Amino acid sequence: MAKALKLIAIILIFGILTILTQIGGVVYLLSFFTHAIIKKKFVNRYAIFVIKTTTFLVLYITCTFLIVPPLAKLLGRVPLPMTSTNSLQPLNILTCIFNRNYVRPQLKDVAFNAGRQMNERYPGTVINYLDASFPFINRFPLFPHLSHNDGKKLDFAFCYIDSKTSQSTNSTPSPIGYGVSEMPRPDEINTAALCSQQGYWQYSMVIKIVPQKNKANFLFDSMRTKKLVEILASEKSVGKIFIEPHLKARLNLTTSKIRFHGCRAVRHDDHIHVQLI
């Protein structure tokens, strides 16, 4: 019974790490090769657990930052920067630690160009990227996204104004960039409601999970967000942009590259989705 439970636990841990990071499950299994050595040198169960965990973390960090990037590059994907570079940065550092920041080189150029142009137009602006793709294997799902599986897709956070100072800020109301939406006004189309009425319960799921208490500290920066979308749309290599229909109308965005993502996805009034042709 104990062996069966241990096997189930190993399978669960492997699955969770693989879903979250792609390589974590494999690294977890590789760390087992160190367990025999650890058990020979230590007797205390707590010490053994701590050292096993530390060993896994060291192996994982080593793979993530030293081994995966050159291997991924050989296969056509490169990581977006972990720190602010060319006015582009990850909103949450876990995006990089979890290997969710890999794109095609062409998309990396698009992101850098957008960051540079935004900073030139609005000095001090640094645009925040969110989820991209994993480093390896086309069609390997990046949970919970439907299409972030080939290095051609990248999400950007909206731009905001600090409600207390009325100054532009590079921060966002959501720590992950998703889930705090710029809701439709009474006179605007409410796509979320229409999708929910059709039974697509997942469309507004993220907004119910992410805490909303920080929303009052921010105002949607329509001017900078509109400019960011226009810069991204001007790139010849960009084929589609997803943003909620009521925001497309409100911001008077006319580019034909903006499409409706469909009710099977999730709402896009909290971020911008960009994908290559």
43 has a pLDDT exceeding 90: no
> Do the Cβ atoms of 136 and 99 come closer than 8 Å?
no
What is the Cα–Cα distance from 258 to 228, expressed in whole angstroms? Answer: 13
In the chain, where are the structural domains located? Answer: 2-74, 82-276
Write the pLDDT tens digit of every residue in 154-200.
999 999 999 999 999 999 999 999 999 999 999 999 999 999 999 99
Averaged over 90-108, what is the pLDDT? 98
What is the Cα–Cα distance from 142 to 64, expressed in whole angstroms? Answer: 16
Q: What tokens does 276 get?
A: 């290559």
User: pLDDT value at position 18?
Assistant: 98
Mean pLDDT of the chain: 96
User: pLDDT value at position 275?
Assistant: 98
Question: What HEC string does the chain produce?
Answer: CHHHHHHHHHHHHHHHHHHHHCCHHHHHHHHHHHHHHHHHHCCCHHHHHHHHHHHHHHHHHHHHHHHHHHHHHHCCCEECCCCCECCEEECCCHHHHCCCCEECHHHHHHHHHHHHHHHHHCCCCCEEECCCECCCCCCCCCCCCCCCCCCCEEEEECCEEECCCCCEECCCCCCCCCCCCCCCCCCCCCHHHHHHHCCCHHHHHHHHHCCCCCHHHEEECHHHHHHHHHHHHCCCCEEEEECCHHHHHHCCCCCCCEECCCCCCCCCCCEEEEEEC
User: pLDDT value at position 1?
Assistant: 73
At 3, is the pLDDT very low, low, confident or very high (cuts 50, 70, 90)? confident
User: pLDDT value at position 263?
Assistant: 95
- pLDDT > 70: what percent of the chain? 100
What is the Cα–Cα distance from 277 to 273, expressed in whole angstroms? Answer: 13
User: pLDDT value at position 90?
Assistant: 99
Cβ neighbours of 120 (radius 10 Å): 10
Write the pLDDT tens digit of every residue in 197-218.
999 999 999 999 999 999 999 9
Write the pLDDT tens digit of every residue in 117-133.
999 999 999 999 999 99
pTM, two decimals, is 0.93
Q: What tokens does 116 get?
A: 């540079």
Task: Decide which of 3.40.190.10, 2.60.40.10, 1.10.3210.10, 3.30.1380.10 is the CATH code for 82-276.
Answer: 3.30.1380.10
User: pLDDT value at position 51?
Assistant: 96
